[in-house]
Structure 1
Amino acid sequence: MKHYLVITLLFFVAFSATAQSKKEKDQAAIKKMCGCYEVTFNFAETFNYSQDSLYKPSKTKIDKGLEWAQLVEDTDNKISIQHLLQVGSPEQPYIVKHWRQDWLFQNKDFYMFDGDNKWNFETKTEDEVEGQWTQKVYQVDDSPRYEGSATWVHVDGKSFWENTTTAPLPRREYTKRSDYNVTLRGNRHEITEYGWLHDQDNAKIIRQEGKEDIILAKEKGYNTYVKVEDSRCQGAINWWKEHDKKWATVRAKWSEVYNRNKDLHLEDKVDNKVLFKHLFDEELTNKEDIDKTIESFVKK
């Protein structure tokens, strides 16, 4: 009996060490997305299924920029990375607060985009998310964008994570296209020798209540993040040091909203302005005013 217990204990210790080693590899891969990068955004519509003979596909889009990915939070079960675009001359750069990605280990709570500025709250079981990381992606104003759960894979010298989930239209599309209202995003994040890759296979979806989704077109996205010296992003680094407290207040308010654990429906505009234009106002720094502004966009 004693011999059996010893073997069982040794097996448990070995299993725990292996699981911890896997988790540490996951954490290391996620944090490799931090730093200063030359980014190239490539998007091309590949197939269209429209019945309209006058249908015009989206134009191929290629953009480049310098992006700083700031580690905001690093705990055992959560890693948060804030992206900042840096444009203009290095001497007088202009900084744009960009998207944020939070990675949560074995997270069970999700806000899934359903179209028309609405996210449905859903929960998964412990078994469904065992060993997985949820990537939660937020808009420039820290409102929700999309999220999904999957396992980081480390094999043959590669580290990658793949998931397919629903999302709003990308910024490059939503001011130009009104013929679809949901993007089905196939996301692959892969750590590479040059930095990392965000590889996408997306479908443009027409979603109407009570009807089956219709695929209007498909799109390929291929965004490369080439690592460069951190000093090239010094403008973004300095900007974050100056503004991080304000955005911590914004994140705290949104966390309070998300922790209500119910469907979330947001206004498009309040006082004829979208949310990010309110929050990007340099005069808006008081916690009470920030909280009130965000709450005004949450439909009751």
Structure 2
Amino acid sequence: MKRPSYILWLAACAGLQTLPAQEAKPEPAGHVFAWGFMDWKDMSTRGGTTKGSDATLLEGSKEAWKKLQEPGLSKFEKDRRAILAMAGNYRVSFDFTETLGLAENFKPTRPYFSWGTENVTLLEDRGEFISLQHSLVMYFKNDKGETDGPHVMKHWRQDWTWQDPELQVYQGDLTWKKLPTPNPQGRWSQAVFQVDDSPRYEVAGTWTHDGGLSTWRSDDCPRPLPRREFTIRKDYNVLEGTHEISITPTGWVHVQSNRKMQVDKDGTRTCRGKELGVDRYEEITSPDLATPFNAYWAKTGDYWKDVRDTWATVLKEKDTFSMKNTYDDKQLFEIHFDHADKLEKGEDAGDDLQHAKQTIANFLNP
């Protein structure tokens, strides 16, 4: 299995960010979604520019969708089946459009669009707890039209907990605080973790099932800026908003309504603008994503479990914690992935658990 260049890997890391994408196509002249009077040339999409291989979409419906539609299910079981239906092999697209700004003479940033092919694997199912691991599995087209790959890159993770009594709530400045869950009865929390398994955000919400539509709607939720934003924006430091996840016959759709907030150390809050986002997961039958992921996970999965377990201990023991952005001029994901790379190559990487514990400890502030 070939390993992508470090620059390409870096571009694909840290939550929702630049992913491999087809070459940008010009917007239809005369109208841009949400900005009908803007010149379409000024609003061409930004995002990934690497050309990915063609993907074949699934025809018909997923088995997980059919199981979700079975009659006589309890509300709890419907919730569970909706979460489990998110596992699969997908063509994933990320679309974000700024809808308003509050600065004088405001001009919207260019809309963001990118896509990739992603495997979502069920890591754990304990009934009232479900964990799903996302991994990019990418094939690229070179200048000659030849396919290069697969390249496997561990991506983000989502953990779902039934009636979770407490949440890790982002406070800004890479700081999280443990707080009671508002009205946890009958609801599920979704905890989202970065590519290095460090926390990103956690929020509670409710699944509803009506007329064949299963949707989870979250409470309002603060989180760190994604790469697609912090690489171009310095005027705000917290992204707040709500999430809706809806299950479709061939995948799922994640809709975000976000506010761009500057939150100062004294608690002063200033809204810079708002955005809408649509992340679309469409099941594919080719290229093969599961086999390359399973091969990668067979070599590195034990180490990543040590990383998850170490973080679980930190989150259990600490009511509040904050993180350093870098340690020895490296980011957390770099150190973890360097270790995993050695394991993937069959090299002696040393004690996995000790490496996980020491690495995470180095990034935690006293």
1:118-133 to 2 correspondences below 5 Å: 118-124=175-181, 128-133=183-188
Matched, 1:26 2:79: yes
**C-alpha distance 210-248 of structure 1, shift in aligned 2 (>3 A):** same
Is the deviation greater in 23-32 or in 166-175? 166-175
- Which has more helix, going by share of residues? 1
Matched, 1:158 2:209: no
Deviation at 1:214, TM superposition (A): 1.5
User: Residue type matched to 2:261 in 1?
Assistant: I
Q: 1:69 aligns with which of 106, 111, 120?
A: 120
Deviation at 1:264, TM superposition (A): 1.2
1:199-278 to 2 correspondences below 5 Å: 199-229=255-285, 232-233=288-289, 234-278=291-335
Q: Distance in 2 between matches of 1:240 and 1:168?
A: 28
Matched, 1:192 2:248: yes
3-state secondary structure, aligned to 2:137: strand
Q: 1:145 aligns with which of 200, 209, 213?
A: 200
Structure 2 unaligned spans of 5+ = 1-71, 141-146, 343-348
User: Residue type matched to 1:132 in 2?
Assistant: R
Q: Distance in 2 between matches of 1:294 and 1:97?
A: 17
User: Residue type matched to 1:294 in 2?
Assistant: I
Q: Report the aligned-residue RMSD.
A: 2.0
Aligned residues between the structures: 279
Q: Distance in 1 between matches of 2:73 and 2:85?
A: 18
Q: TM-score, normalised by structure 1?
A: 0.88
Structure 1 unaligned spans of 5+ = 1-18
Q: Distance in 2 between matches of 1:58 and 1:285?
A: 46
Query: % of aligned pairs identical?
Result: 35
User: Residue type matched to 1:116 in 2?
Assistant: D
Deviation at 1:261, TM superposition (A): 3.6
- The answer as to whether partners of 2:181 and 2:204 remain within 8 angstroms in 1 is no
3-state secondary structure, aligned to 1:23: helix
Cα deviation per residue 1:38-81 (whole Å; 9 max; x = unaligned)? 11111111111113x4x553321111111000100101110000
Q: Distance in 1 between matches of 2:307 and 2:333?
A: 11
- Aligned equivalent of 1:110: 167
- Aligned equivalent of 2:155: 98
Cα deviation per residue 1:229-273 (whole Å; 9 max; x = unaligned)? 376212223222322111001001000100114111001100011
User: Residue type matched to 1:23 in 2?
Assistant: F
